[in-house]
Homo-oligomer: A and B are copies of this chain.
Amino acid sequence: MSNGIGVGLIGTGYMGKCHALAWHSVKAVFGTGPRPRFVHLAEASEELAARRAEEFGFERSTPDWRELIADPDVEVVSITTPNAFHADMAVAALEAGKHVWCEKPMAVGFADAERMAAAARASGNVAILGYNYIQNPMIRQIGELIAAGTIGEVNHIRLEMDEDFMADPEALFYWKSEASSGYGALDDFAVHPLSLVQTLFGDPTRVFAHQAKPYAERPIAGGGRRAVETYDIASVLFEIGPISGILAANRSAWGRKGRIALQIYGSAGSIVYDQERMNELQAYRASGPTADQGFLTVLAAPGHKPYDRFIPAPGHGLGFNDLKTIECHELLRAISGEKARVIDFAAGLEIERAVHAMARSHDEKRWIDV
């Protein structure tokens, strides 16, 4: 890797651009590791592929992702296409000896996710998922506070993930309302807080879920209306051993834009966090005179690694895209054999397992052991 690492990028939408930006920043931010070489980019059409390659600085472009995977100069593949394509692409890339950085969720069906995990295991390559929220220095700090016993034994957690991009009842029916896209809020949203839960506490052991449709039908483009097949709202009770929890997800929640709210209660304190103010955490310590107790609002600072690699001054703020740069750096560390903070395909499979158990619980109206 003396002259860098060859990168292939499949997909250039929201997450594709996010990966491209991370690959551009990672070396200058962290100073160490290989320099990415922007080798090959794949997009649906030849024209779009060429345009994005010019914008993102890739040497070659193709409308055929298999061509990209066959490119011997490509060492690591960013997969940022719609979820339905993840499995085929990831398995092909792994079988071709590439490392894989795949966006979440793994796949629509559990069997596909299992196939991906098996391919990763068989390949011996690095295969990770794009659960970037775990990379936030404030989430790391929360993990360190918990590990240090700052809030004692955790006994109760509440998680909420809410946005409003499907909140308008008159928004047209589109693929996210089709059953083929998955369950709805459960796989579209719940996987994110579950990635945080896994990182901080481990996976749910028992779940009870209920899903709801705020709007039974939606208008369709040509006129008329179509019944909505997915659930924009999911409400879940769960346990992780002795910890009781609630997970709520709603993609029709007017006013919420990127909310991932955590409440973590322990025997000696509590921690509160909201991704919409991603550079802050709040911690309550039950010590000292009660008249001096309260929630402490901590702003992201160089002491919260690796914030310092981006900015040497506290309180100036990281952005959403910076989380992807940290994730990219962790990927590179994993590739170089270091212990990295990533959710690999094996860990990602456990998140999928929990989500599918929740959906089954909804259908069977009972607690399900995961």
A157-206 at interface with B (beta carbon < 8 Å): 158, 160, 163-165, 167-169
A-B contact pairs, 7 of them (CB 8 A): A155-B233, A156-B253, A235-B244, A253-B270, A254-B286, A293-B298, A316-B320
Any B CB within 8 A of the CB of A210: yes
Are B267 and A215 within 8 A (Cβ)? yes
A317 partner, pick from B163, B319, B365, beta carbons under 8 A: B319
| Interface size, chain A (Cβ < 8 Å) | 94
Report chain B residues within 8 Å CB of A313.
Answer: 14, 163, 165, 257-258
Any B CB within 8 A of the CB of A78: no
A294 partner, pick from B250, B291, B293, B297, beta carbons under 8 A: B297
Known: A246-B246, A254-B266. A299 touches B276 (CB 8 A): yes
Any B CB within 8 A of the CB of A149: no
Any B CB within 8 A of the CB of A118: no
Any B CB within 8 A of the CB of A72: no
User: Shortest Cβ distance from A9 into chain B, in angstroms?
Assistant: 11
Report chain B residues within 8 Å CB of A294.
Answer: 255, 296-299
A292–B18 Cα distance when bound, in Å, is: 26
A288-345 at interface with B (beta carbon < 8 Å): 289-299, 301, 303-304, 310-322
Report chain B residues within 8 Å CB of A55.
Answer: 27-28, 31
User: Mostly helix, strand, loop or mixed at chain A's interface?
Assistant: mixed
Any B CB within 8 A of the CB of A109: no
Report chain B residues within 8 Å CB of A314.
Answer: 257-258, 290
Report chain B residues within 8 Å CB of A130.
Answer: none
Of A156, A318, A319, chain B has the most CB atoms within 10 Å of the CB of: A319
A31–B28 Cα distance when bound, in Å, is: 20
A315–B366 Cα distance when bound, in Å, is: 36
A272–B169 Cα distance when bound, in Å, is: 20
Report chain B residues within 8 Å CB of A322.
Answer: 319, 321
Closest 9 CB pairs of A and B: A257-B315, A319-B319, A255-B284, A291-B303, A212-B244, A294-B298, A258-B315, A155-B214, A316-B320
User: Shortest Cβ distance from A303 into chain B, in angstroms?
Assistant: 3
Report chain B residues within 8 Å CB of A235.
Answer: 237, 244-246
A279–B279 Cα distance when bound, in Å, is: 11
Any B CB within 8 A of the CB of A17: yes
Are A21 and B17 within 8 A (Cβ)? no
A126-166 at interface with B (beta carbon < 8 Å): 141, 151-152, 155-156, 158, 160, 163-165
Report chain B residues within 8 Å CB of A276.
Answer: 299, 315, 317
A250 partner, pick from B20, B255, B265, beta carbons under 8 A: B265
Are A290 and B303 within 8 A (Cβ)? yes
Report chain B residues within 8 Å CB of A214.
Answer: 155-156, 265, 267
Any B CB within 8 A of the CB of A57: yes
A24–B28 Cα distance when bound, in Å, is: 8
| Extra A-B contacts (10), CB below 8 Å, given A246-B246, A310-B321 | A14-B312, A25-B25, A155-B233, A156-B250, A255-B295, A258-B315, A277-B277, A292-B296, A318-B320, A321-B322
